[in-house]
Each structure stands twice: as C-alpha cells, then as structure tokens.
Chain A
C-alpha cells in the first residue's frame, strides 16, 4: 500500500511550551489512523501542522509526496480538514455552503455539482439542505461538515474530534460513514480524539500521544495484546504509567 502521509520528527515549540516533540508516524491509503490522548496532549497542534495551518519548528510531514514546509499549497490540494467543534456560515443554506466549499477546490462547474451531489448522498440531510445553517442542530452541522470534508475525495481527510459534542446516535452514524469511505473509496483518515472507546471502534491503527510525545503506535489488537489490556483506555493508562509522563 502507498503511504499517503509520512510524519518525520515533527516538532512545535510555542513561546513557553513544547507542544509536539519529534513525533513520527505514517498513514497508508485507505487507512484510518487515530491520534489519541488527553486534552493538551498535542493532538490538535500535530493536526494543524499537517493541515498547513501551523509551521513546524522542526521536522517535516509529507502528504502524497508534498512537504508541508516547502509545498503547502500542493498539500492543501490533497487534504481536507475538519476542525474540532467547527461551525459553518449561518446565513448560507446547506447546499449553498457545499457549493461554496466545492468552489474552493475546483473551478469546473460540473465538478462542483458532482462534489455537492456526493456530499448530499453522504449527509442524508435531504430538503433541510435548502434551509439556512443557522436553523440546524449540532448533529446536522457536523454531518454537513463531514460530508463537506469528504466530498472532494481527498487523499487524506483530517478530522479533529469528529464526534465531539454529539449524541450517541449521531456519533455512531458519523463513525460508520468514516469507515465506509475508507474501505469503499480508499480514502485515508487522520483522526484525533480523547474518546478512546470510539477510536477502538473506528480506527485501523492508533497512536497514543501525551505531553507532545507519541508514545506508541499500532493496531488496537496489537496494543491490547502488548499491554495485556481489555481496551484502549487500559492501554493508554499502562503506556503513560510505564513512561511516567502524567
């Protein structure tokens, strides 16, 4: 399988805090990779660097052959990013928003229509897409944004806490959509979450991050076996205890 993302010794130093410390991992085509860790562990900073929003202070990441440091514009053509608890333009209708966002990825009107239709199939919001986003529930907004993030068939979709703040049913629906797209469309995903049970269900491989350090990576089963744990939460607990980082 081809590598879609390769992160090499990526670091980010804010004025007083070393938010990310030389982390390295890779994501393959059609793979769902999750970064898990508590709040403040460095997940969002890592994701923002890979999304070309923040400049790394050291190291690099290569997305579909393009460096985030030297070719950020090329990287942006290959990725989509869904921030944690993101909103959308409240005065736009759902369809209007999808058209606007599609227009930022292509100038071809036919392609724009294709993207919008694909998003409509994914979000299943039906006629509500003709209403203003201001009238949507949180779950509807998240579905709309997720469909926006995947409608362009990006090589890598980066989703920060994709189900945060959602009720159980909406969260399950979003997880199913992510799995389906990865396995059927061979789309790669980089997720972040502090909900480890959710990640156990959705991801192919996980990376445990704490205090800016990537402690361990592997499939859920591998990690559970290695740390003799019943679930990822236990794995996480043992990893941080072993390394005395909390």
Chain B
C-alpha cells in the first residue's frame, strides 16, 4: 500500500499532459514523415522524365534515337549549344541536365565502334531525392537501347540475341544461413536485415538517454527541494522508496519505447516498402524469385513472437541497469547543471555500442574488441536482434545473464547508497560550491 502510494506519486510526477502530448506528437511525426517521404518518392519516380538534348550530329540515326526516347515516355527539350562550358550552358538554359550527341556519333556507331555520349548533370546537394531531376541515366539507357535496336536491325539480329550479347549470364543466386538455404541474393537479405536492425539501436539509445535524464532529474529535484529528506524521514523502507522511483521510471520508459517503436516502425516500413520488394526480387530464369520476407522465413532469420519477447526482456533489463546507475549518479547532483554532467558516463557507454552496431556487426569484430564491447552491458541489447536472427543464442542468453548480474550489483550499491548518509552528503562539484552545499551540509 505504501509502495503503491509512492509509485503513484512517481507516475503522477513523470506522466503529465506535456509528456503524453510529446509522445503522441513523436509518433505522429514519424508516421507523417514516413508517409510524406513515401509519397514524394512515388511522385518523383512516377514524374515524366524530362531531358535536355543537344543533337550536334544531326543524322537520321540520331533523329530515330530522339523518336525512340519520346516513345519511351521521356519529355525531350531539344537545344542548340556550343563548346564545353557546361556550367554556363546549364545556367543559360535553366536546365538541370544535358545530353550531348557529339558530331561524328553516327559515323562511329556505323563503323562498329563504341561511340561517345556526353552527359551533364547539375549536383544541387548530396541528397539522392533532390538530384533526381538532374539524373541522365534513364536517357543514356534509352539511347543505348535505341542504338542496340539499330545494330540489331543492321545485322539482322533479334532483340533476344542482342539481350544475350549484353547479358550472357543469368545469375541464380542462393543464400545459406546455417544449414538452410533460399533462392535469393544475399544483398537483398542484407539490405532488409539492415533496415530492420536500424530501428533497435536507435530505440535503445533514445531510451537510455531518456531514462537516465528522467531519473537523474527526479533525484536531483528531490534533493534540491529537500522532499527527499522528508521522504527518508517517514516510516517507509528505503527499498520501497528506491523501488517505486525505479518502477515509475521504468513504466514511463516502456511507454516511451512502445510509442517510439510503433512510430519508427511505421516510418521505416513506409520508407522501405516503396519498391523494396521489387528490388528484393531477382529475375531467375525468367521468373521472379521468392520475396525477401519469405526467404528470411525459410532461412530461419525471421523473428517470431518469442524472439520479440526475449528482446523486450533484454531491453527492460537495460532500462533497469540504466535506472540503478542513474540513481547513484543522481545522488551526486546538487543542481540542474551538474545533472547534465553526470549523464556523461552513461552517454559514452551507450554511444560506443550504438555507433558500432550501426556501422558493423559486433560479432565479426576481433575477439579482444568484442570482449571489451560486451563488457558494456548495453551492448547486448544493441546486438540482440542480429544475435537472435543468426542463431547466436549462447551470446544472447550469456548477455541476458550478464545484464542480470550487472543489474543486481548496481541495485545493491544503489540501495546501500540510499541507506547511508551519502545520499544526502555526497555531491559532485567541479571546484564550485553548489547551491545546496553553500546553504549547508555541515551546518
């Protein structure tokens, strides 16, 4: 009952209208962003292709190529330019791209040699989406295809023969995981798994930061307002006080995790669904190979409900460790400024596995580095998904056991801290006297 009273107080302190509004807004932003990006991509890819062409060769063949381009759906803007000052040419014409068919192009093609085509694209930024309008690859492909058509006619070859000449090999790609295999390219699986695994580290990192901030601020505020002294002088066990504080923060953290998970998953699925399956499907001997999802199922690297529950347990353990450490760090805080400072160790410990797991597979690193990384308890949660996917269950369950031990040790020290004088007397000062210490500590 007293514990429940304390827990309700913690929840009331942590869950307020602003916090709920923030959560809903975060989820909505993810969803709207995903939707907008997906629609924009669709619009951009569907948009009629516009290309500026300067036919400096001006022959029957180049005229045919132009017709071929128009037939293939491209919007052609013909122009007449001179010289190779392409920056000035684009600026004068207000164009984003330019394809120049140089003089002598037809002659070179007819002589059976490779002809040169000049393409100019304006690079506006490093973003792929913003440079779609200056892309000339579709025009180049169409021109290339038109010339192939011309050669086919000239040498009386069928389209199929031309196709075989261009691509004499058809790949039948298979991927093996453990002893299971599936008819799909490893690239497709890697791209899908990477997309899925991107979500988890972001969620874990955001949660670690949020939970630490939440509990450190809660303890700091209680210390500064002296409500902690009042609480500690009441007939309630210290374990109940610390337990209620941790459970309250853990409930709020999990609530956040759910909102982030739903929002971010929706964002990622909107982003990756556009053409993802088309990219994933490989043409094998004239037929589409299996989808990535079904291939992952066959390879046994698709996560089931049990896997997600295990990941949830590990995520919860990470939150608990974070809370126990934050309680101890919070005890060092005497003002809002130092609450930012004490977060540093946790931030560094979370940042290292976060960045490494985003860039590489932790299990593929050298043994010494792996041991150092796995000594950080958060690393196990960052690598939980790939470990379960690829059957590294020993590493996963070892991590779970290690995290439990770390949590119990942290809890033991946090509880001892709450039972000792140090909760009120210790503080972190970088050469400055804090507001509280100035007021008194040794009065």
Q: Is B236 close to A, CB under 8 A? A: yes
Q: Which residue of A lies closest to B420 (CB)?
A: A55
Chain A-chain B contacts (Cβ-Cβ < 8 Å), number: 95
B225 and A88 contact, CB distance less than 8 A: yes
Complexed CA–CA distance, A91 and B421 (Å) = 28
For window 97-118 of chain A, which residues contact chain B by CB distance below 8 Å? Answer: 100-101, 103-105, 107
Assess the A100–B227 pair: CB atoms within 8 A.
no
Q: A158: shortest Cβ distance to chain B, in Å?
A: 8
B5 and A100: CB pair below 8 A? Answer: yes
Q: Which of B2, B9, B230, B420 contacts A86 (CB 8 A)?
A: B230
* CB–CB B227/A85 < 8 A: no
Chain B residues closer than 8 Å to A84, beta-carbon distance? 226, 439-440
Residue B443 at the chain A interface, CB threshold 8 Å: yes
| Cross-chain contact of A17 among B1, B9, B226, B442 (Cβ < 8 A) | B442
* Chain B residues whose CB sits within 8 angstroms of the CB of A51 once the complex forms: 229, 233
Q: Which residues of B contact A103 (CB under 8 A)?
A: 1-2, 5
Q: Is A218 an interface residue (CB 8 A)?
A: no
Contact pattern, B 10-52, Cβ under 8 Å of A = 1, otherwise 0: 0011001000000000000000000000000000000000000
A45 touches B442 (CB 8 A): yes
Q: Which residue of B lies closest to A38 (CB)?
A: B443
Instruction: Name the distance in Å between B415's Cβ and chain A's nearest Cβ.
Output: 15
Are the C-beta atoms of A89 and B227 separated by less than 8 Å? yes
Task: Take A45-B443, A107-B2 as given contacts and tell me if A91 and B226 are in contact as well, using a CB distance cutoff of 8 Å.
Answer: no
- Indicate if the CB atoms of B442 and A14 lie closer than 8 Å: yes
- CB pair B9–A79 under 8 Å, yes or no, is no
Out of B230, B235, B424, name the residue touching A77 (CB < 8 Å).
Answer: B235
Secondary structure class of chain B's binding surface, majority of residues? helix
User: Which residues of chain B are near A67, meaning CB under 8 Å?
Assistant: none
Q: How many residues of A contact B (CB 8 A)?
A: 40
In the complex, A40 has a CB within 8 A of chain B = yes
Report the separation of the CA atoms of residues A86 and B221 in the bound assembly, to the nearest whole angstrom: 11
Q: Say whether A52 faces chain B, with CB atoms less than 8 Å apart.
A: yes
Query: Given A81-B230, A82-B230, A91 and B16 touching (CB < 8 A)?
Result: yes
Bitwise interface map of B from 402 to 431 toward A, beta carbon under 8 Å scored 1, else 0: 000000000000000000110011000000
Q: Provide the bound-state CA to CA distance between A52 and B237, in Å.
A: 12
Q: Enumerate chain B residues within 8 angstroms of A130, measured Cβ to Cβ.
A: none
Hey, which chain B residues are within 8 Å of A92, CB to CB? 9, 12
Q: Which of B363-393 contact A (CB under 8 A)?
A: none
B442 A83 Cβ-Cβ under 8 A? no
Given the interface pairs A73-B235, A107-B1, the reply to whether A89 lies near B9 with Cβ below 8 Å is yes
Q: Is A216 an interface residue (CB 8 A)?
A: no
Min distance, Cβ A240 to any Cβ of chain B, angstroms: 17
Top 3 A-B residue pairs of the complex, sorted by shortest distance between their CB atoms: A87-B225, A103-B5, A81-B233
Interface residues of A, Cβ cutoff 8 Å to B: 14, 17, 19, 39-45, 48, 51-55, 73, 76-77, 79-89, 91-92, 96, 100-101, 103-105, 107, 158
